[in-house]
C-alpha cells in the first residue's frame, strides 16, 4: 500500500469527532495510537475523554525527541504492532509532532507492506509541513531522514487544539514554514499573514490561515509527489537554513528549525534578488519581519567558509559539486534547481547581515 495518492485533509478543532468519523468509515480491524511521551501526557487524554475508539485503542508510546527517531524505536513500534495483533486491515493514528508523524507513518507504511494511518499533528510545524505530503522515515547513521518512503496518510486532521501546549519559540518555528508558503503562493499572501498583530495561534482565524498555508503545500505535492521538480519549491529557505541550523548546533547553541529557515529565507531572497531581480522592497519587508520576530544569528565573515562547506554537503544538491537553491523571481514565481557559487553566497551573506543588522 505504499502510495502517493492525494490525502484527505480535515481542518477542524473537533479532533476526537474527526477521528471517530474516519474510524467509523474505514472500519479498521484494530486501532493503534502512536504517541511520544509528551503527547501521551498532554494531548492523548484530551482526545480520549471525547473518543471511545481512541480510549479503546492500543497505545504505543516512545520517548520524545529527535534522538529517538531511529531504527531501535521503529523496531519497537513494529514489535508492538506484531505482538498486539495488527493485521493488514488494522490502522494507526499518529498523534504528535514531526518525529511521531514521520516515524509512525513509516512504521505503518512498511508493516505487512502497508497499513492505513491517520496523522494528527500536535505542533504547528508538523501541521503545516511534516504531517502533510507523504514524507515518512527515520534518521540513520547520523543523517536526518536517511531511510524512508513516500507514503501519504489516509487522512490528516489539522487543528490548533494543542498549540497552547507549545512554547512560543516552537510556534514561531512552525510559523516560518507558513511564511515560506506565503512567498511561494504570491499575491498578498505574505502581507496578510504578517499583518496579524497579536499572534493568536489558537483562534479560529488562525485555523483559516493555517488551512490556506497547508493548501499551498498540498497543491504542490499533488503535482510532484516524489520531488522530481516542482516540490523542490518547498525547499525555499532551506539550503541556507539547514546550514545555519547545523552551524548553530556545532557551536553548541542550537536554534529551532524554523528560526534557521526564517534566516535562510532572507539569504535565499537576497540570492533571488541578485540572480533573478526579486523586488528589493519585498526583500526589505520580509527581512524586517524576520528580524523583528526571529532576531539574529550571530555569524560574521569568518564563518562563511564553514557555512558554504555545510551547504556543499546538503543532500538537496545535484552531486556535481554545485550548491542548489530554490529561488523566486517574485512572490509566487518559483525557480527550482538554481545554483550559486561560494563567492555569490558570501556576497548574499554580507547583504543578509546588513539587512538583519548583524
Binding residues for ligand GLY (CB under 6 A): 129, 133, 135, 231, 234
In a 13 Å sphere around the CA of 108, the CA atoms on its Cβ side amount to 31
Nearer to ligand GLY, 224 or 344 (CB): 224
d(CA 123, CA 175): 11
CA–CA distance, 15 with 26 (Å, rounded to integer): 16
Shortest Å distance, C-beta 218 to ligand GLY: 11
User: Which CB atom, from 69 or from 231, has the smaller least distance to ligand GLY?
Assistant: 231
**238 or 338: CB nearest ligand GLY:** 238
**Least distance to ligand GLY, CB of residue 259, Å:** 16
Least distance (Å) between residue 234 CB and ligand GLY: 4
Please state the separation of Cα 54 from the chain's center in Å. Answer: 25
Q: Which is nearer to ligand GLY, 211 or 316 (CB)?
A: 316
User: Please, which residue, 51 or 326, has the CB nearer to ligand GLY?
Assistant: 326
Q: Give me the least distance between CB of 235 and ligand GLY, in Å please.
A: 7
Least distance CB 99 / ligand GLY (angstroms): 14
Residue nearest to ligand GLY (CB): 234
Amino acid at each position: 500500500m505504499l502510495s502517493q495518492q492525494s490525502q484527505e485533509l480535515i481542518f477542524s478543532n473537533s479532533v476526537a469527532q474527526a477521528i471517530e468519523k474516519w474510524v467509523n468509515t474505514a472500519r479498521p480491524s484494530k486501532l493503534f495510537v502512536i504517541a511520544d511521551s509528551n503527547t501521551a501526557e498532554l494531548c492523548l487524554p484530551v482526545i480520549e475523554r471525547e473518543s471511545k475508539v481512541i480510549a479503546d485503542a492500543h497505545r504505543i508510546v516512545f520517548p520524545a525527541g529527535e534522538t529517538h527517531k531511529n531504527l531501535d524505536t521503529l523496531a519497537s513500534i513494529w514489535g508492538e504492532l506484531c505482538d498486539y495483533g495488527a493485521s493488514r486491515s488494522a490502522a494507526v493514528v499518529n498523534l504528535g509532532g514531526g518525529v511521531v508523524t514521520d516515524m509512525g507513518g513509516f512504521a505503518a507504511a512498511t508493516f505487512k507492506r502497508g497499513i492505513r494511518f491517520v496523522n494528527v499533528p500536535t505542533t504547528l510545524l508538523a501541521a503545516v509541513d511534516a504531517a502533510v505530503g507523504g514524507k515518512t522515515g527515520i534518521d540513520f547513521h547520523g543523517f536526518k531522514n536517511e531511510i524512508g518512503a513516500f507514503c501519504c496518510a489516509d487522512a490528516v486532521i489539522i487543528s490548533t487544539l494543542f498549540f497552547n501546549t507549545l512554547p512560543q519559540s516552537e510556534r514561531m518555528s512552525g510559523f516560518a514554514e507558513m511564511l515560506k508558503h506565503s512567498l511561494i503562493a504570491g499575491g498578498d499572501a505574505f502581507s496578510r499573514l504578517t499583518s496579524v498583530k497579536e499572534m493568536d495561534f489558537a483562534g479560529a482565524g488562525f485555523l483559516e490561515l493555517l488551512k490556506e498555508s497547508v493548501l499551498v503545500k498540498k497543491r504542490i505535492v499533488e503535482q510532484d509527489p516524489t520531488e522530481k521538480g516542482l516540490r523542490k519549491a518547498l525547499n525555499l529557505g532551506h539550503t541556507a537554513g539547514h546550514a545555519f541550523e547545523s552551524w548553530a548546533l556545532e557551536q553548541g547553541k542550537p536554534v529551532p528549525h524554523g528560526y534557521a529557515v526564517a534566516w535562510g529565507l532572507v539569504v535565499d531572497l537576497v540570492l533571488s534578488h541578485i540572480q533573478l531581480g526579486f523586488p528589493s522592497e519585498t526583500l526589505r519587508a520580509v527581512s524586517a519581519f524576520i528580524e523583528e520576530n526571529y532576531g539574529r544569528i550571530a555569524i560574521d565573515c569568518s564563518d562563511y567558509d564553514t557555512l558554504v562547506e555545510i551547504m556543499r554537503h546538503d543532500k538537496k544538491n545535484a552531486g556535481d559539486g554545485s550548491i542548489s537553491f530554490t529561488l523566486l523571481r517574485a512572490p509566487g514565481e518559483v525557480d527550482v534547481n538554481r545554483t550559486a557559487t561560494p563567492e555569490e553566497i558570501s556576497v548574499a551573506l554580507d547583504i543578509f547581515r546588513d539587512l538583519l543588522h548583524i
